[in-house]
Amino acid sequence: PYGGSDKSNNGHRYDSIPFANGMIAAGMSCQLIHYTHEEHDKFFELCKSFDFIIVRCNPGQIKADGGDQQKFDDGMREMRKLGKQVWPSPDVMEKMGAKDALCKVADMNIGLPDTLAYYSEEEFGAGFKKTMAFQPRVIKQNRGSSGEGIWIIKLKEGNYCASFGERCCEDGEKLMLMEANDNHEEEHTVAEFIEFCVNGRNDKSGEWTSKGVGKYLEGGKEAGGQLVDQRFCPRIVEGELRYNCVGDSLVGIIHKKPKEGGISAVGGTGSIYTYYGPDEAKFKNLTDGFLNKDLPLVMPALGLPEEPVPLWWTTDFILSSPEGTPAEEEKWIVGEFNCSCVGISRCLAAYCKDDTPNACYDDISAEDKAEADKYGKLMGEKALGI
């Protein structure tokens, strides 16, 4: 009823005002315009009048409204061909948001070399049986959100081999699985898990309590069908770090600690969030390495050498070092990049929900408005510079 699941009562996204004001403060004109699929051609004709476009429409909302996301994305690609900057462009959103982005940074300081991507049943079956026999794993589907289809997996017997490739799992070996969306646990055989991931619920995959339907490879690589296989880092129970960035500048760090007994720190699971400034000393090693060494290499590694880093985006990091590692030597690895309509959490009071149907910008506290405006101002400066 509010024009989407993340809108204020004016029909625009709840955090659009700081974005617009940031552009205006930098000396530019900035207009808020609605996209409605019934006026697709008129919308893109109007877009030609601007020098750049900031897209604040979550993927999935256009389709939910009866429109065509692909048609919208193709329209934005046409804007890029006309020389107009689009943040984020469909290609940047797709390639940064895809789970196989983790494979493309595997050899950087922020990656792990045994991070694999699977696009077919054959690749998945062979690769997973080999990695699973070596160490606990995290298997991530490409299309899910809020942790759905992200599985933390251990061998029930704990009989891991000493070196990678020494053995492969048998179909009948039992797995202990936890899904990151709600931290629920299931037990299945290797064969049942592979069957669920490939073909979903059927007699061969057994009974599942997951809210998801599996079929993670459906449609093939072109349709986003893929699975990423990453080493499980047990210290994730200590929490993960979210780096909030405006262009190439870090503006804040959030430490997200899972609820006691859980592994996922996805919102709504009882996780605890602690906020730090960009210069927090305890994370200096990660910050310096990420911003100065790896960040200039990320866009080329993702196949986007001509694109600037997104205007407003996040990177989630997981601690991979064993316990007892000195802070200055700790290794944090990327769990996920996100540039797909990242929210400014300081503006959440303007978010319409069933219990706040008239929420608007005036409902945001003065302190939170000031912080959001700081982000917006920096975005304006970065946008003007690009």
Residue with tokens 């080329």: 300
> What is the tens place of the pLDDT at every residue in 232-289?
998 888 899 999 999 999 999 999 888 776 655 555 556 788 989 999 999 999 999 9
C-alpha separations of 134 from 109, 131, 232, 298, 309 in Å: 22, 5, 11, 29, 36
Distance in angstroms (rounded) separating the CA atoms of residues 120 and 129: 14
Per DSSP bridges, beta strands 272-276 and 227-231 are unpaired
Type of residue found at 9: N
Distance between CA atoms of residues 95 and 93, nearest Å: 6
Sign of CA dihedral 307, 309, 315, 320: positive
Structure-token pair, residue 299: 């866009």
Instruction: For residue 221, report the phi and psi dihedrals to the nearest 5 degrees.
Output: -60, -40
Q: Are 372 and 364 in contact (CB under 8 A)?
A: yes
First-to-last alpha carbon distance for the chain, in angstroms, is: 37
**So what's the pLDDT on residue 197?**
97
Question: Which residues have C-beta within 8 Å of that of residue 343, sequence separation ≥ 6?
Answer: 6, 14, 15
Tell me what pLDDT residue 71 has.
Answer: 96
Q: What local confidence, expressed as pLDDT, does residue 2 receive?
A: 58
Amino acid at 177: L
User: How many residues are given for the chain?
Assistant: 386
Burial of residue 157 (number of CB atoms within 10 Å: 0-12, 13-18, 19+): exposed
Amino acid in the structure at residue 297: L
Q: CA-CA distance, 225 to 218, in Å (whole number)?
A: 5
Pairing of strands 137-141, 116-118: unpaired
Angle 16-25/366-385 helices, nearest 10 degrees? Answer: 50
Q: Which sign does the torsion angle of CA 357, 361, 367, 369 carry?
A: positive
Residue 300 exposure: Cα atoms within 13 Å on the Cβ side: 5
- For 269, residues 6+ apart whose C-beta sits below 8 A from its C-beta are 147, 181, 182, 183, 258, 259, 262
Find all residues with CB under 8 Å of 278, minimum gap 6, and list them: 249, 250, 251, 252, 253, 287
CB contact set of 206 (below 8 Å; sequence gap of 6+): 188, 189, 192, 196
- What residues in the chain have per-residue pLDDT under 50? none
Rg of the chain on CA atoms, in Å: 22
CA 94, 98, 102, 104 torsion: positive or negative? negative
Predicted model pTM: 0.80
A 10 A CB-CB count for 378 gives 19
**b/e map of 328-363 (b: 16 or more CB within 10 Å)?**
eebbbbbbbbbbbbbbbbbbbbbbbeeeeeebbbeb
- Measured at the CA of 7, the angle between CA 6 and CA 8, to 5 degrees, comes to 140
In the block, which residue shows the tokens 């290797």?
190
